[in-house]
Chain A
Amino acid sequence: MKLGFSIGAALSLTFVTLAALSFVWTPSDIETLDIANKLQTPSADHLLGTDHFGRDILSMIMMGARTSIAVAVVAVGIGMAVGIPLGLWAAARSGSLLDEVIMRGNDLVFAFPSLVIAILITAVFGPSAVNAIIAIGIFNIPVFARLARGAALPLWERDFILAARVCGKSSARISAEHILPNIMNLMIVQGTIQFSLGILAEAALSYIGLGAQPPTASWGRMLADAQTLTAIAPHTALIPGGTIVLMVLGLNLLGDGLRDRLDPRIRVDRT
């Protein structure tokens, strides 16, 4: 388990570093095409070869990491920023009509196949990275809302909350000051999982042409572009495909590792 965590952290950190590095430096400029040097296999000049327009694939992967991470971070951010307060609110008014409305509303969103709705949103509002973010973000809301409510409910029974209520703190203040810090570890673990799902969703949307538009690099679109080239230049498909696998694997391992460390229920089991 500890090894998994290390591998996961290392993989995730690698991609985040690559994405950060791309802001200041990439091996070559991906906005200039070099058709004469298209579909080259990996070499000293191009460590991961070139694509069908002669662009350096390593540079594309770095720029693509930026797109993927940005979309996933903002989407998870939307999910947390809206979902957690909703969940806390529902927990504070547990059993009331408000609780029912919030949670059934979440069920409603949850019931839709997320990718289909994401396609619908991008199809209606036009394909772009921003719409992809919104589409993925909306489906993160119920995940966090449910988890937050579930984790907050037992806390409301605890003595320290009772003490806070006796002191006259409002339920909103209690949620923010006492409940939230105690469920944050769970949220972080879930955030990591949602983050990897976000990366996958962004790749899927870009693959079908509904994510980031050219010339913005995107792993999913790299795969789509390489679709008919697999027979003559397999590396153009294998590299972005492998990258997505490694990134998602890394985040999942990291999430598992974080859960082992942060989730109080598991910690209790161990001792």
Chain B
Amino acid sequence: MYMITRLTATAGLALLGTTALAQTDITVAIQLEPPNLDPTSGAAQAIDSVLYSNVFEGLTRFMADGSVVPGLAQSWEISGDGLTYTFTLRPGVTFHDGTVMDAADVKFSLDRARAEDSTNAQKGLFADIAEVTVIDPQTVKVRLAQQNGAFLFNMAWGDAVIVAPESIETIATNPIGTGAFAFADWVQGDRLELTRNDAYWGTPPALEAATFRFIADPTAAFAAVMAEDVDVFVGYPAPENLPQFEADPRFQVLVGNTEGETILSTNNKMPPFDNPLVREALAHAIDRQAIIDGAMFGYGTPIGTHFAPHNPDYVDLLDTSPHDPDRARALLAEAGFAEGFTTTLKLPPPSYARRGGEIIAAQLREVGIQTEITNVEWAQWIEEVFTNKDFGLTIVSHTEPMDIGIYANPDYYFQYDNPDFQALMDRLNATTDPAARSDLMAQAQTIIAQDYVNGFLFQLAVPTVANAKINGLWTDQPTAAVDLTGVSWSE
């Protein structure tokens, strides 16, 4: 018996020695667990983080650098008036359940997303579509009601992925897409597993299996990475630990851009913030660099408006709101609040909000504004702040790409209502000429900066901590995604 065991052990060792192949599975941690698995109806970013590009694909897609390239549509033609897009679909694409992806699925997906009763979280992406017509199984024609220069960009969003009518009923728990990975299992509260789709139309991924885990607590995140329980942590929650990982040869640290404009959201309808002078005072009371250094340990880029600094159309408007407490006090006095006032500051869990909130509270106190800080969980934040608009100030990062359009919606939670801005957004949506669009976007950025709608703080950086042997991870986050299709282990 003993002999046999030893022989087996030796054989096992020999086998290990000869097969030093690269690892083909990966464990990825992200902070939040998706509430469901349907990117075409859920608003939660975590859904896209897990499924975008891995399981679901759209007509077009984002690359790691934010560029939009062909996805399930291999090419398209735009009519001279800019109103008709004729997409030619890739041949031989099948869903994970074996059904064929064709023009009918595209029509189904787009019609479902733009329907009256659609629960799509970004219905605005589809608002200009007038009609979707199937020409033949490989060709689909989309007619727009008005020109939309961002249409191909819109089709790359996680909310615009192509789904099949056959599997739509159970999509929230069993997502069936066309991507390089198929959904395998979801143990709620613990992990979500993907396996390689061997029938994938594109370059087969190097990984055979991927497990997603959800760790929001910074201390637990540190322990999980240190113990190598997870191979990759995308959106690592405690920036103060990054220097330690950088110094450790086992790990690599990637600090990338996100589309996350982190702002001191201000309830524009609630007195005294309905007074532009008060909002201007707020903007001058804030010291952005202190917040970035104190809350994010230096990771983040100051912004002067609601636009990503790495976007070519970004306008540097930091000059409109430099840190100037004296001016803030003078403005408050002019607005009739020489003695200051008291307001609420509701802080969701991420450290940019909790720590940033304490710093902002101290900065506001310096100019005479007292804040009552309340720490809230995300569910509470969605209910009290986002839905019921019961707040004075809050801190949140808006991570959707190119989301300046939210300022044109007077019912959005910060309740900014400016007809000029709304008209400008309409013009922007109707413009396809790139130079004209740039100009309009610059105007839009300037208007909200000069109206001091919110306290514009900084562009959130996304730190990814990964095993040093992993290649092909996205550094930047042009959209919420952990794209594993190009990820591999070296050795």
A229→B222 CA distance, assembly (Å): 11
Binds B, one of A19-27, A62-70, A165-173, A207-215: A207-215
- The segment from A29-37, A135-143, A180-188 found at the interface with B is A29-37
| Residues of A in contact, count (CB < 8 Å) | 20
Known pairs A31-B365, A32-B362, A127-B374; list 16 more (Cβ under 8 Å). Answer: A33-B290, A35-B293, A35-B294, A52-B294, A52-B355, A53-B355, A54-B294, A126-B374, A209-B375, A213-B372, A213-B374, A214-B358, A215-B362, A228-B218, A228-B219, A228-B238
CB of A14 closer than 8 Å to a CB of B = no
Residue of B218, B243, B359, B372 near A53 (CB, 8 A) is: B359
> Residue A38 at the B interface, CB < 8 A?
yes
Q: Do the beta carbons of A215 and B361 come within 8 Å of each other?
A: yes
A30 to chain B, nearest CB (A): 9
Residues of B with Cβ closer than 8 Å to A?
A: 218-219, 222, 238, 240-241, 243-244, 290, 293-294, 355, 357-359, 361-363, 365-366, 372-375
What is the interface of chain A mostly: helix, strand, loop, or mixed?
loop
User: Could you list 24 examples of A-B contacts with CB < 8 Å?
Assistant: A31-B365, A32-B366, A33-B294, A33-B359, A33-B363, A35-B290, A35-B359, A36-B293, A52-B294, A52-B355, A53-B294, A213-B372, A213-B373, A213-B375, A214-B361, A215-B365, A227-B219, A228-B219, A228-B222, A228-B240, A228-B241, A231-B222, A231-B241, A231-B244
Check A3 for interface membership: any CB of B closer than 8 A. no
Knowing A32-B366, A228-B218, say if A38 contacts B374 (CB, 8 Å).
no
Cβ contact within 8 Å between B358 and A215: yes
Residue in contact with B243 in the complex, picked from A32, A54, A232, CB distance below 8 Å: A232
A-B contact count (CB 8 A): 59
Residues of B within 8 A of A232 (CB): 240-241, 243-244
Contact yes or no, A38 B244, CB < 8 A: no
Q: Which residue of A lies closest to B365 (CB)?
A: A31
CB distance from B14 to the nearest CB of A (A): 40
A227 to B241, CA, bound (A): 11
Chain A 228-260 interface 0/1 with B at a Cβ cutoff of 8 Å (1 = within): 110110000000000000000000000000000
Q: A19 vs B360: C-alpha distance in the bound complex, in angstroms? A: 27
- Separation of A127 and B380 alpha carbons in the complex (Å): 14
Contacts of A127 in B (CB 8 A): 374-375
With A38-B294, A52-B355, A214-B361 as known contacts, state yes or no: A229 contacts B373, CB within 8 Å. no
Query: Across the interface, which residues of B come within 8 angstroms of A215, CB to CB?
Result: 358, 361-362, 365, 373
B355 contacts across to A, CB distance below 8 A? 52-53
* A213 to B243 Cα, complex, angstroms: 30
Chain B residue nearest in CB terms to A55: B362
* Residues of the B chain whose Cβ atoms lie less than 8 Å from the Cβ of A214: 357-358, 361, 373
